[in-house]
Amino acid sequence: MPNDRPMRALPVVDPNAGMRHASEDDLERARALLAASMRLESVECLESGPRAEEFARRAIDERYDAVVVAGGDGTVQAVPREVLGKDTALGILPFGRFMNIAKGLGIPMDAVEAARVIAAGHVRRADVGEVNGHVFFETAGIGLDAQVCGAAAGGGHGSASRGGRRTARTASASAARATR
């Protein structure tokens, strides 16, 4: 017997995401597209209070069909460990600066187009990695790789050149230590 109940989704919105891949009205347009095809219980904001993984646990505990994350890679990355192996799907609306996870999964970089994919119910499995209980979509780095990536990320919002200089200094210092 087919299930005629509309899909329930818990949106999680990170208002601090970089917005590189979205326009100002894209969140409302994406929300309207999703609301036309599924029941959106509430829009949660991460500005203060629970973090994305806590909302993902809530979505599972309350039997939501999906948790839809509107944010960047950091917000999205917090969810997979919670939904892994569960019946709750992860939807991604790309609102961050880089969106490496969405790119790697073939999700449209336009948030409204990504909402269309979610609203149409397109779900697919994705490979993940796990190291010491940390689930990840992309890559895991140790040693110089982790140090360089950490230095680049430490540049702060809107300061790619400062992060790049820090990365170059870190890589140079690490290489100098390695050759001694």
Query: What is the CATH code for 7-136?
Result: 3.40.50.10330
The Cα 109–Cα 22 span in angstroms is 8
- In this prediction, residue 51 carries a pLDDT of 86
Contact between 9 and 41 under an 8 Å Cβ cutoff? The reply is yes
pLDDT category of residue 130 using cuts at 50, 70 and 90: confident
- In this prediction, residue 161 carries a pLDDT of 47
pLDDT category of residue 87 using cuts at 50, 70 and 90: very high
Indicate the pairing of strand 44-45 with strand 38-40.
unpaired
Mean pLDDT of all residues in 130-151: 75
% residues pLDDT > 70 (the chain): 74
Please tell me the total number of residues recorded for the chain in this structure. Answer: 180
Averaged pLDDT score across all residues of the chain:
79
Q: How far apart are the first and last CA of the chain?
A: 70
Q: What is the 8-class DSSP label of residue 126?
A: -
Strand partners, 131: 134
- In this prediction, residue 22 carries a pLDDT of 75
The Cα 39–Cα 165 span in angstroms is 46
pLDDT category of residue 49 using cuts at 50, 70 and 90: low
Structure-model confidence comparison of residues 88 and 152, the more confident one? 88
Extents of the domains making up the chain: 7-136, 144-179
% residues pLDDT > 90 (the chain): 36
In one-letter notation, the amino acid at residue 89 is A
The Cα 119–Cα 148 span in angstroms is 38
pTM for the predicted model, two decimal places: 0.75
- In this prediction, residue 120 carries a pLDDT of 92
Ranking 9-13, 72-76, 94-98, 145-149 by mean pLDDT, the lowest is: 145-149
- In this prediction, residue 4 carries a pLDDT of 66
